[in-house]
């Protein structure tokens, strides 16, 4: 299936793996790239630029297909060594970078200089237009359904994607609620050139997370995510558990007086305990509403093949059938 995104990234299928904290390791990225999509290594999961360089090298040993790196710009006082991470990306020969968080304008010149394509993750059309203006090659448009940070506008993809199509000239992919061939066809009908999947890829055999995490996704319904940190204007969609419900109770009780320190036990440093150790009540972890569409734990190859087969059948048979007299 050819789209502007597949041609730009040099991939077979218009499917991109989201850069997920403590999930986007070499094993995950290589599996997705080998299956015809674009696998993404998450830079900030690696503690140092040297660790990222090693992770890129490990991934290179597992695939000869294109891979990408997610680089999230956090609004923090003590910023990570971004120049070091960028250097590792360039020296590792990576040709696609997914940026997220704050405006990536400071790294665009050097990435462009080395022929690296930049896809910026956006939760609003105005942000996507800004990304286009500063020179990003494409954007990932994240609807309110997405896991992680959906922004503060609460616009779902059925509205956000066609709005993006109306405004943008650069290609975009759809993120949030993406799980199968139906998702892909719907996203493309609304203007996207492909889709970005995060949560769905966690429930695969190759995903380097604890089995408890995968089983939790299979067991979850579309009603099992919660929005936390909304009073701090840092809204995150997470899978509910005891810690999340405790966090929500704190938000209710403290109201406008809440500070990050009040909820730190539920959100700070919990990812290794959940995703690596399988302690499912350790704290809040990003999960999309798409959990309600996860019924099994296939290999990445099986999942992507199934998505593409379903998408092609929908386009060639079901939708084409509506045109018949």
pLDDT at 324: 84
Is the pLDDT at 242 greater than 90? The verdict is yes
pLDDT at 60: 98
Tens-digit pLDDT profile for residues 275-284: 999 999 999 9
pLDDT at 76: 75
pLDDT at 78: 83
- Burial (CB count within 10 angstroms: exposed 0-12, middle 13-18, buried 19+), residue 292: middle
Tens-digit pLDDT profile for residues 34-82: 999 999 999 999 999 999 999 999 999 999 999 999 999 987 768 899 9
Is the pLDDT at 153 greater than 80? The verdict is yes
Structure tokens, 20? 């997920």
For residues 20 and 271, give the distance between their C-alpha atoms in angstroms, rounded to a whole number: 11
Tens-digit pLDDT profile for residues 17-34: 999 999 999 999 999 999
Q: Tell me the three state secondary structure of residue 226.
A: strand
pTM, two decimals, is: 0.96
Which residues are paired to 119 by β-bridges? 98, 138
* Residue 238: band (very low, low, confident or very high) from pLDDT cuts 50, 70, 90: very high
Is the pLDDT at 143 greater than 80? The verdict is yes
pLDDT at 169: 98
For residues 303 and 299, give the distance between their C-alpha atoms in angstroms, rounded to a whole number: 6
Tens-digit pLDDT profile for residues 155-192: 999 999 999 999 999 999 999 999 999 999 999 999 99
Spatial CB neighbours of 38, under 8 Å, sequence gap ≥ 6 = 9, 11, 15, 16, 17, 32, 66, 67, 68, 96
pLDDT at 74: 84
Whole-number average pLDDT of the chain: 97
* Residue 325: band (very low, low, confident or very high) from pLDDT cuts 50, 70, 90: confident
């Amino acid at each position: 299936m050819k789209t502007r995104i597949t041609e730009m990234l040099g991939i077979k299928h218009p499917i991109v793996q989201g850069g997920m904290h403590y999930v986007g390791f070499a094993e995950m990225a290589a599996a997705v790239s080998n299956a015809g999509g674009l696998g993404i290594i998450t830079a900030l999961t690696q503690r140092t630029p040297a660790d990222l360089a090693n992770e890129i090298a490990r991934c290179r040993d597992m695939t000869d297909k294109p891979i990408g790196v997610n680089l999230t710009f956090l609004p923090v006082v003590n910023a990570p060594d971004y120049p070091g991470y960028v250097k590792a990306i360039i020296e590792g020969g990576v040709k696609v970078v997914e940026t997220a968080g704050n405006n990536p304008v400071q790294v665009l010149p050097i990435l462009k200089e080395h022929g690296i394509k930049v896809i910026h993750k956006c939760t609003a059309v105005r942000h996507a237009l800004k990304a286009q203006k500063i020179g990003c090659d494409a954007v990932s448009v994240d609807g309110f359904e997405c896991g992680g940070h959906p922004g503060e506008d609460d616009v779902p993809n059925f509205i956000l994607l066609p709005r993006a199509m109306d405004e943008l000239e650069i290609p975009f992919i759809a993120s949030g609620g993406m799980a199968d061939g139906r998702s892909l066809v719907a996203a493309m009908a609304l203007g996207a050139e492909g889709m970005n999947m995060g949560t769905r890829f966690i429930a695969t055999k190759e995903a380097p997370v604890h089995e408890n995490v995968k089983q939790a996704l299979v067991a979850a319904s579309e009603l099992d995510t919660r929005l936390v940190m909304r009073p701090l204007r840092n809204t995150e969609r997470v899978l509910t558990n005891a810690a999340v419900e405790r966090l929500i109770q704190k938000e209710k009780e403290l109201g406008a007086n809440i500070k990050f320190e009040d909820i730190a036990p539920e959100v700070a440093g919990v990812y290794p305990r959940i995703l690596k150790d399988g302690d499912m009540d350790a704290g809040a972890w990003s999960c999309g509403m798409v959990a309600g569409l996860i019924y099994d734990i296939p290999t990445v190859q099986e999942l992507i093949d199934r998505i593409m087969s379903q998408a092609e059948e929908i386009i060639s048979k079901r939708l084409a059938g509506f045109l018949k007299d």
